[in-house]
Amino acid sequence: MTGSKKPNEKFFPGKTRRHDYKGNVKSKVITLGAVFTILTASCSACSPFNVEETGSNMQFLEPEPAENLIRVGFSQLGSESKWRRANSVSIKDALTVDNGFFLQFNNARQTQENQIKAIRGFISQQVDYIAFCPVTEDGWDTVLREAKDADIPVIIVDRQVSADESLYTTWIGENMRQEGENAGLWLAKMLEDRGKSHDKINIIELLGTRGSSSQIGRSIGFDTVCDRHPNWVLLDRDDGEFTTAKGQEVMSGFLRKYDDIDVVVCQNDDMAIGAVQAMQEAGIDLYSDDKPIIISFDASRQGLEMVMQGIIDVDVECNPASGPQLSEVIHDMEQGNQVAKAYFMNEEVFTKDNASKFVDDRSY
Ligand code: AHR
C-alpha cells in the first residue's frame, strides 16, 4: 500500500458520505427490503446484475445490518481462465457482508458491451462504488465520464484502461510490462547459460485477448528485451484468447507452419496447457532436451506443476488476489483518507529452482 492517510474531498464531491461503514453518517441507505429487491432483480434473466448463487453473495439473505453496508457494483470481464476465476473468488471473499459490503457481482462473459451495460446499471442504482476488470484497454471514456458525473468513484482492477486517469479514482493490478520483460530477461540469461547467446532463436507467441492491457503490456515488455537481441526472430504471434482451447488451436497451426520453433511464449498458463497438448499431438517429446523452450504467465498450480516436471521452463506470476487490496482502498476512502492512483500486486518468477516451494499454496 502506498496511499497516504490524508482526507481527500475529491472522491466525495457535493455529497455527505458515510464516514464509518459500521457507523452513522451515510449518504445512501440500503434497507433489507432493498437488498431483497436487488437480489431478486439480479437473478432475473434480463438484469445486467448477475449476483451469483454461490459464494459470499448468499450472505445478502442473512439478517445483517444492511443499512450500514457499502454498496459496490463489480463487473468481472468473464471466466476465461483459472486466473480469472481465482480473481473473482478473491473479490467475493474480500467484499463480504461481514467486511461491511453489499456486492453486486456481474460476469460480462468476455464482452465490453456487457461490461458497459453493467456499469450503467450500477450508475442508475446509485451504488457507492464501481469496480471493474476491463476486458480491453480502449473504449471506456464515455461510461467513465457518466460514472464521474454521477459522483460514483470508480476503481479499476487487474487490467488497465487508456482513458484519462482523471476519470477514475484508482487502479489495483499487475505490472504486465514488467512480467513480459521478466520473461525476456529470463530467456536471455538461460540462452547465455546454455552457450546459445549468439544462435538464431526462432520464437512464436500465443497472445492473450488482443487489445487487453495484459496482452499489450506483456508483448511490449517481451519485445523490449527481444529488440536487444538481433538473433531472436519472432516468427509469428496470434491471439489465443487466454483459453486452453484456442491456445491448442493456434499452436497446432504454428506447428503445421513451422518446423524450427525454439521458443513458445504463452501469455497465460491456460494457453500453455493447450499448446502442450498440441505439441504432444504433433509427437514432440516434452521431456527431451531439444523440445521448444516454453515460457508462460500466471503461475497457477497446474502451471507450477508443469514447471516442476520440466515441461514449462519459466512461469512468470500474475497475482489474482486483488480482493483484500480493493476492500482496503474502499475502507480508506470511506474514512476520507487519500488513496494512491495505482497499487501494484507483488509478483515472482518461477523456475524448477523455486516452484516446489510455492506450488502447495496456490489457490488457482
Ligand atoms: O489480466 C490478467 C490475465 O487475464 C491473466 O494472465 C489471464 O489468465 C487472465 O485471463
| Inter-residue contact 21 to 358 (CB < 8 Å) | no
Domain contains 189: yes
Percent of the chain, pLDDT > 90? 80
Q: What is the pLDDT of residue 171?
A: 98
Q: Which whole-number Å values give the CA distances from 34 to 11, 235, 250, in the listed order?
A: 25, 57, 48
**Integer Cα distance of 249 and 293 in angstroms:** 19
| Inter-residue contact 324 to 8 (CB < 8 Å) | no
Domain contains 195: yes
Looking at the predicted structure, is the pLDDT value of residue 169 above 50?
A: yes
Domain contains 361: no
Q: Are residues 151 and 220 located together in one domain of the fold?
A: no
Tens of pLDDT, residue by residue over 218-269, are: 999 999 999 999 999 999 999 999 999 999 999 999 999 999 999 999 999 9
Looking at the predicted structure, is the pLDDT value of residue 284 above 80?
A: yes
**Cβ burial, residue 260 (10 Å; 0-12/13-18/19+):** exposed
Task: Give me the residues paired with residue 76 across strands.
Answer: 107
Looking at the predicted structure, is the pLDDT value of residue 173 above 60?
A: yes
- Would you give the DSSP letter of residue 278? H
Mean pLDDT, the chain, integer? 86
84 lines ligand 1 (CB under 6 A): yes
Q: Are residues 307 and 327 located together in one domain of the fold?
A: no
Q: What is the pLDDT of residue 10?
A: 32
242 lines ligand 1 (CB under 6 A): yes
CB atoms within 10 A of CB 190: 16
Ligand 1: nearest atom to the Cα of 83: 8
Could you give the number of structural domains in the chain? Answer: 2
Domain contains 300: yes
Q: What is the pLDDT of residue 66?
A: 65
| Cα 306 to ligand 1 centre (Å) | 18
Domain contains 355: no
Domain contains 358: no
What residue numbers bound the domain in which 126 lies?
4-174+319-347
| Cα 173 to ligand 1 centre (Å) | 11
User: Which of 85, 298, 322 best tests ligand 1's pocket when mutated (most atoms within 8 Å of CB)?
Assistant: 298
Higher pLDDT, 330 or 7: 330
- Global pTM value: 0.85
Domain contains 356: no
Q: What is the pLDDT of residue 60?
A: 40
Q: Are residues 216 and 206 located together in one domain of the fold?
A: yes
Looking at the predicted structure, is the pLDDT value of residue 30 above 60?
A: no
Looking at the predicted structure, is the pLDDT value of residue 6 above 50?
A: no
Tens of pLDDT, residue by residue over 7-26, are: 233 333 223 344 333 323 33
Task: Give me the residues paired with residue 316 across strands.
Answer: 297, 349
Q: What is the pLDDT of residue 67?
A: 75
Q: What is the pLDDT of residue 287?
A: 95
Task: Find the CATH number of the domain harbouring 209.
Answer: 3.40.50.2300
Place of cell 482451447: 245
Q: Are residues 295 and 337 located together in one domain of the fold?
A: no
**Integer Cα distance of 48 and 42 in angstroms:** 7
Q: What is the pLDDT of residue 138?
A: 98
159 lines ligand 1 (CB under 6 A): yes
Q: Are residues 241 and 287 located together in one domain of the fold?
A: yes
Q: Are residues 9 and 140 located together in one domain of the fold?
A: yes
User: Strands across the sheet with 232-239, in order?
Assistant: 232-239, 201-207, 263-266, 293-298, 314-317, 349-350
Mean pLDDT score, 199-227:
98
Q: How far, rounded to the nearest angstrom, does the alpha carbon of residue 230 sit from its chain's CA centroid?
A: 32
Ligand 1: nearest atom to the Cα of 80: 10
How open is the CA angle 80-85-90, to the nearest 5 degrees? 150
- Would you give the DSSP letter of residue 97? T
Place of cell 434473466: 45
